[in-house]
Amino acid sequence: MSEGSLSPLRLNLEPDYCDIIRFSPDNKAFISHLAESNILRVFAISKKQSPKSYKHFDLPKLYSKKMIGFEVANCGVYILSYYRDCTIIITNVKGLELYRLNTEQLSLNECILSPCSRLFATRGATKGIKLWKLINYSMDQIDKIENFADLSRDQMVKSFAFSFDSSKIAFVNGGNSWKICELLDITTGKIKSEPNVIIDSFLTLKGLDTDSHTNKPKSRDKKIIKSNPKYVSQAKGKRQLESENEEENEEITNGKTVLVALAEECNCLALLSHEENGGKNLSLYNILNVMVIDTIFEGVKEDGLFKMCFYDNDKYLLIGHKSDKRIYVFHNVSSYKLKIDKLSFKKKSNPNDITGNKKLEEEISKMESLIKRLSSGK
């Protein structure tokens, strides 16, 4: 993509300004949140690159509180907006309210939709994250939204991310230990009533309660508990819970950003963590043995990193930066290394297949030369 091929468009929103932008799934429109008006404005993208050709309309304002974020479902059926007071409002693309709920997490910090649009997860001031599923939804109505599981209720969660196929979710606890849970049944594709932990970096590294054959935590490791709607009132009072979680929550939100991303093939995990001195570390892990494959940078004192994801079949790792308004693109060399290991294992398992092994050798040599070229910076 050469510089000359880019044709940027500038739209004047004065006296307001935009702080969040999302594209529609078909890329025929983009939705922006106007910070001062606290409304969503939809811009229809036309072929003519002119500000006058971009028709727009405002979705109705349904709540007086400040919106902190919104997500557009990949199915194109609904828009989910969320607010600091734990309110979530789901509307159709025309702004008609379909469902409203309160997550009961004291204050809401983050809400992420799964790529399949059937699930979403929320993280707030209480410990853990809540998983929600939509039941029988369409353009006109949503029958029910159910909180079917709570993850890591004994610790604060710093960050979480869904896998590309929505079958798994990865989240980071205190001490930068991470876990991966399986959400969907592989054979049927149905949502599990009790998601199970399949990878626990702390247990695997410490060698505690793990299966020697699969290198995964044993089934008796019950870190996930079914949701209890009376959790806050039963366990502790609101003020007591707020005071206990205040220190941990401040650490998460005030500059000490932790980000996690799962590769599309679910063989690699990227973790952006922070040190006590304020430095940032970006490492890529092999999910099977939770060992570090590559460290992209270490000890870098940089604030403003807020979004991270894999792109283009795991070829690249993208990180968004708020302060300098840039997107940093890194070559994901780790994916090639994992593919080489996979092909090498396949080659060893079929020693008599001469024709197939030659093709595997060619693929391995191509990837090795590519890794050398990328490592040299050419």
The rounded distance, in Å, linking the Cα atoms of 170 and 304 is 22
Q: Is the pLDDT of residue 247 over 50?
A: no
Q: Is the pLDDT of residue 35 over 60?
A: yes
Which one of 2.60.40, 1.20.120, 2.120.10, 3.30.700 gives the CATH number of domain 114-331?
2.120.10
DSSP secondary structure string for all residues of 320-378: EETTTTEEEEEE-HHHHHHHHHHHHHHHHH-TT-HHHHHHHHHHHHHHHHHHHHHHHT-
DSSP helix/strand/coil, 51: helix
Whole-angstrom CA distances from 255 to 106, 259, 303, 306, 322 are 21, 12, 6, 10, 12
Q: What pLDDT, in 10s, does the model give residues 98-109? A: 999 999 999 999
DSSP helix/strand/coil, 240: helix
* Of the listed ranges 28-42, 167-181, 212-226, 343-357, the one predicted with least confidence: 212-226
Q: Higher-confidence residue: 108 or 303? A: 108
Q: Which CATH architecture has domain 11-102?
A: Beta Barrel (2.40)
- What is the average per-residue pLDDT within 194-210? 66
Q: Is the pLDDT of residue 91 over 70?
A: yes
Q: What pLDDT, in 10s, does the model give residues 250-290? A: 333 344 678 999 998 888 999 988 776 777 888 899 888 88
Whole-angstrom CA distances from 296 to 30, 50, 129, 320 are 32, 40, 28, 15
pLDDT for 6: 62
Which residues belong to CATH 2.120.10 in the chain? 114-331
Which residues belong to CATH 2.40.10 in the chain? 11-102
The rounded distance, in Å, linking the Cα atoms of 361 and 340 is 10
Q: Is the pLDDT of residue 191 over 80?
A: yes
Query: Of 305, 262, 263, whose CA–CA distance to 280 is shortest?
Result: 305
Q: Is the pLDDT of residue 243 over 70?
A: no
pLDDT for 25: 92
Query: Of 175, 59, 76, whose CA–CA distance to 116 is shortest?
Result: 76
Angle at CA of residue 323, ends 317 and 325, nearest 5°: 60
Please give the model's pTM, rounded to 2 decimal places.
0.79
Phi and psi dihedrals of 14, rounded to 5?
-60, 145
